[in-house]
Structure 1
Amino acid sequence: MRLQWVFAIMLSGLVVGCSSTGTSYQPADERGAYGYTETELGSDRYRITFTGNTRTDKETVNDYAMLRAAELTLQNGYNWFKLVNRDTESKSRSSTSLSGINDFGGHTAVYQRCGLVSCDTVVTQTPSRFSGGVSSTTTRTNYQASLEIKMGKNPMPDDAEAYNAQELASTLRRWMGEQAK
């Protein structure tokens, strides 16, 4: 019986540990912080950026940026927007933990920089010297989506990069509600 309690407590700790959430849809406290920011580039142009934490996947980061673009379009009295530019960057960090009798340091860091067309991976490695130990590596990636939009009023152009702001916002909010369940 006691073994079952120990197992139940360990299992509940694992569930709580794995239930960390991604970045919420919210304004960022400052540029570069998690959440969205926008910069006015002209009376009908904006740059919107959404930065997610390591638990927010690439698709969600892109969807949140698009939702902010739709909301901003409606807030400014327009009913459609066109994507002028779109970019998603990823930043990966790997850390190696060493434990053992003679742990003399060393680590590997991997950073991936992605642009619109290609990605570059930068690897820095410091050799480690240890004996009788265990090495484990953890890699964490966070994504940042950046959109430049031009807003307009009807008629909406017949263009694959033009979006009905009301329709898109409604669809993405409905999707976000389903994800929260």
Structure 2
Amino acid sequence: MSIMNMRFLGLMALIALLAGCASGPVYRAAEKPGDYGYRDTMLTSQHYRVSFSGDDGTARETVDNFAMFRAAQVALSHGYDRFRVVSQQTSPITETTDYGPSAAVGYGWGYPFWGTGIGYSTGSVSRTRYETVLQIQIGPDVPKEGPDVYDALQIKQNLAAEVAAQQR
């Protein structure tokens, strides 16, 4: 591998590292529709839709866990120690960006070599991210136990370390 190629790869690695540092926290409120983060909507006084949409670097399991963490926060913020998951759906969201045809001409040098080049490319980039949507029930009508009933404080405690670790 030539020195030019090694320098180019080093520069690309540095740019990727800086881009990762520039992104915001993974667990946060979604700022606008289609953005990543959590959203919750009150459907009735005891039913909420809670969702978490990850960015393209967030694993599906993490998206599921963050939605559960947010559901626990919603229950606790309304004074309830448990919640029931009425429905859960996790979906992939694939976004494709087309980079139309492009051409480039360049030259370079590095002792003892120099060169010129012409390039042409077409293509697109696809990124897949995940969104989990939960319908939850909170309030006095939630049974104390059941297959879809969760202790909100326990969920929050168990997932707090993962949420904290994913902050960028």
TM exceeds 0.5?
yes
Q: Deviation at 1:47?
A: 0.8
- Judging changes above 3 Å, is the alpha-carbon distance between structure 1 residues 90 and 79 closer, same or farther for their aligned structure 2 residues? same
Q: Deviation at 1:169?
A: 0.5
Is the Cα contact below 8 Å between 1:22 and 1:52 reproduced in 2?
A: no
Equivalent residue for 2:45, pick from 26, 43, 46: 43
Residue 156 of structure 1 aligns to a residue whose secondary structure is coil
Structure number with higher relative contact order (C-alpha < 8 Å, ≥ 6 residues apart): 2
Distance in structure 2 (CA, Å) of the matches to 1:8 and 1:89: 35
Is the Cα contact below 8 Å between 1:89 and 1:143 reproduced in 2?
A: yes
Root-mean-square deviation (CA), in Å?
3.1
Q: State the partner residue of 1:168.
A: 155
- Judging changes above 3 Å, is the alpha-carbon distance between structure 1 residues 24 and 161 closer, same or farther for their aligned structure 2 residues? same
Q: State the partner residue of 1:151.
A: 138
Structure 2 residues without counterparts, runs of 5 or longer: 105-118
Task: Report percent identity of matched pairs.
Answer: 29
- Judging changes above 3 Å, is the alpha-carbon distance between structure 1 residues 167 and 18 closer, same or farther for their aligned structure 2 residues? same
Aligned length: 148
Deviation readout 1:134-156 (Å, 9 max, x if unpaired) = 33331112222110011245862
Deviation readout 1:34-62 (Å, 9 max, x if unpaired) = 22221112222111122222222322222
Is the Cα contact below 8 Å between 1:81 and 1:151 reproduced in 2?
A: yes
Equivalent residue for 1:140, pick from 127, 130, 136: 127
TM norm structure 1: 0.66
Residue 53 of structure 1 aligns to a residue whose secondary structure is coil
